[in-house]
Structure 1
Amino acid sequence: MRFKRILTATAALVPLITLATACEDPDRAAPRPAGPAAAGAAPAPAAPGGTDRAPASLAEVQAYLQKFTSCERLGTDPNDSRLPATDDTKDGDWAVTGRGVCTDVKRHGEILIYLVSDMKTFQQAYYDHTMKEIGEGNGEFGIFSRTIVGKGFVAVPAKTGTAVDLVASDLRVLTCNPGFSVPAGYKKEKPLVDHCGLTDFVSSKDGEGSRNLEVPHDPSTEGAEKPGQPATGSLGLASAGSLAELKKLVSPHTVDCTSMAVTDEHVESIDYQPVVGREGPRAWGVRERAVCGQLGGAQRAHDLNWLDTVSDMKTLQSRAKAAQLADLADDGRLRATASKLLVGTDVAVESNNKDVRFGLYQLQFLYLNCETGFTAPAGYRLERAQVEGCVLTNFER
C-alpha cells in the first residue's frame, strides 16, 4: 500500500479516529481502575480555562488535558513523526481547523488533538463514516471508540488508559455504532446528532478499559465470559404500555409514524413483508398492532414498519422462529423484503429497513436471531430469547 503524510489541518480524520485501535500496545497498557472512571470524580470545567467557550489554540487544549493525564511535547508541525500517515485524504468534511499531537508519557502513547469549529458537523461526519464502515462489512467499527469530545475540540488517545483518565472529567467518548451499549453505572448522554451517544464508559478489546460491573458472559453457552453480555437477565429492553406510547418512543427520528393505521388486518406489500403472518396478531401473541408508512394506492407502498404491543412474548418469538427458519431453509439467507423482528419486554417492531433498525437498537430493542450456531462479536449485545435456539442481539451480519 502506498502511504503519504497528511499535510493540511483539514485532512480527513478517517485514519486518525481509528488510530487508537491500530496503535494499541497491550503489553504496556496501564492497569484499569477499580471502578467506573467517573465515580467520585469532581466535574471538570466544560472547556479549557474554566470557561464555557471553545479553546483558541492547541496549547490551550493541551493545558486542559494536563489536568487529567500527561500531555507533553505538543507538536503542530504536519511533519511531526508522531502523526500518522495515510493513503486516504479528503478535505473539508470534519470542520477541523487545526490539529496537533502530544505524548502521554505515563501511558506511553500519543494523543491526537483537533480544534473543531462546528462540533455538530464533526459528529455528523463521524456518524456518516461509522455507517459507511458498517455498510462495507466492518461491523465492529466504533465499538471500541476512543474519539473523545470536549467543547470545540476532540482528543483521540492511542492508549486505553489515557482514554479512561480523560473521561474522569467532563469529556466524553463519542460512539455511533448501534451495537455499542453502556453498562449500568456509567453515563449515557445525548450528542448533537441522532443515533450516537456520549459516555464515560471506555470499551476496549485489551481489557484495560472501564470496568463492566455487570460481570458479563455469553448467555448462549456456559463458557468463558464475553464483554457486553449480562450475567443473568437482560441489560435492559424497550417497553411501552400502549401503541400510543410505543409510537412516541420510536418517533420521529427512528420510525416515521406520521401516517399510522391501527389494524388487525394483514398489511404487506411486494417490497415490505411483516414478520407476523396472515393468521392475525392474536394468534402471534400480539395485543395491538399498527402499521406506519405509506400503504400505497396511486403510488407504490413505501417505508412500511409495524408496531406491536405484545401480550405473549413467548408465542410471538416461537412463531417468528418458525417463520425465520423456513425463510432460511432455501439458501441460508433471509429475503431482502422480509422484515426482522426487534423486541422489547412487551413491545416489538418489524422492519426491513437497516437504518430504522440501527435507530431501534439505540432505543434498546434487540433482534430475534434464530440462525443455527449464531453468535455476536465482542462488544455487541447477546441475550437469551424466550425460545430455545434463538438469541436477542443488536448485531447483524
Structure 2
Amino acid sequence: MHTQRILAMTAALACLAALPACEGDPAPGASGATPSAGAAATPVGGKGPAPVTLAGAQQYVRQFTNCDDLSDQPGDPRMPLTEFVGVGEWSVTQRGVCSDAAKDGQLVFYIPSDMKEFQERYKRSVMESSGGSQGLFSRVFVGKGFVVTPTSTESALALARSELRILYCNPSFWAPKGYKMDKALVEGCGLSDFVNAEDGKGSPNFETPQDPGGQKPGQPAKGSLGLARAGSVAELRKLVAPSVDCTRFSTDPDTVAIESIDYTPVVEGNALDWGVTGRALCGEPGGEQRAHHLNWLDTVGDMKALQTRAKAAQQADLKDDGKLRRTASRLLVGENVAVESNDPDVRFGLYQQQFLYLNCVPGFSAPTGYRLERARVEGCVLTNYDPENPVVGGN
C-alpha cells in the first residue's frame, strides 16, 4: 500500500521526528524547578487560542503516559540537543521537558502564542529539508494551546489514544485505513492519530498484506483441511467436552451476557448481528466468588458476518498498543460453530478438535508445521498457531 512504499523509500533515513526532540539520546539528567500547577489543557487539534501553562500540559498528558520531573530550564540535559526551536522562535513562549522513564524517553513541550504560525513554520521546515523528506515519522503532537514531542515510540502510542493529534506536513504521508486524518490550521498539513515509526513498532497498519494461506507446504490453496461442526448448542457442548469444562452450563441470555474483568467475550451486544444463532456460557459466572473459567459456545448461521465483526473488534484492541489484551477472548471457529476463550489450555485442546483461531494481526505468518487457512474475511487467516503461547498448537 501507499504507506508501505513510503516506509521502503525512507528506511535509510535518520530519525525524522518533526522537532529535534529525537536527535540523539538525551541523558536523563536532573531537572530544574518545576513550574507551579496550572489548569489542565484541553487539546483538540490546536484550534483556537488557549492560555496554557507547562504544568497544565503536563497534567493532561499524564492521563495517558508518565511525565515526571518537569523542567523549563534551558540547560536541562534532557532538552533537545539543538536549539532548532527555542523560546522566541515559531511564536514559542515557553519550552519544557519531562521524563517517561517507563518508556525510556522524554517529552518536550512547546507553548506557542500563535498555533497557526507554529504549524506554518513547521511545514516550512519540512518542505525545506532534503527535498521534503522530513516529517514522515512526525512526533509533533498538537493540542489546544500546546505541542508535545515524545522521543519514545511507546510514549507516542500512548499519546495517540488522547485527543492530541500528530501534525504531518509531508505531502507523501497519508494515514492508513482506520485512522483519522483531519485538517490542520495550515494548508497541506494534516492531523492524525497514526504513529508512523521507522522501526515498524508504531500504530498497526491494517492495510499491511496478510499471509493469504495456500503458499505453505501441505496447506490448501482453496478450501480447508477440515473444520469442526455441530448441529446445535447441545451438540457443540458434547463436542468440546474434552477441552472445555461445561459442568456449569447456561443458555439463559442474561447469564450468557455476563463478562468480568478477567474474561471478555468476542461477541458483544446482539448476537444475531454477529451471525450467531445460538449461544451458551460454560464456567462460573460469579456471585459470591469471582467469575472463573468462562468460555462461550456459539452456533453460527453467517460465518462471514461473525468473522467480519470479530476482525473489527480485534483491530480496535490492537490499535492501543499493537497487542491483544490477555483478558480478551480469542475466536476459534469451525464450519458452523465457534468458541470464545482466553485460556491457552482450552485453545490447545480445541486445535486438536479441528477448531482454528481467527488471527487478524497485520503481517502474521504461521511457522512451518502449523495449519494456515483462508478466513472468510480479507486480512485474516485461520490457524492453530498461538503466537502468545507457541508451545501449544501445531499438529
Structure ID, larger Rg: 2
Decide: shared fold, TM above 0.5.
no
Give the TM-score taking structure 2 as reference length: 0.43
Normalising to structure 1: TM-score of the pair?
A: 0.43
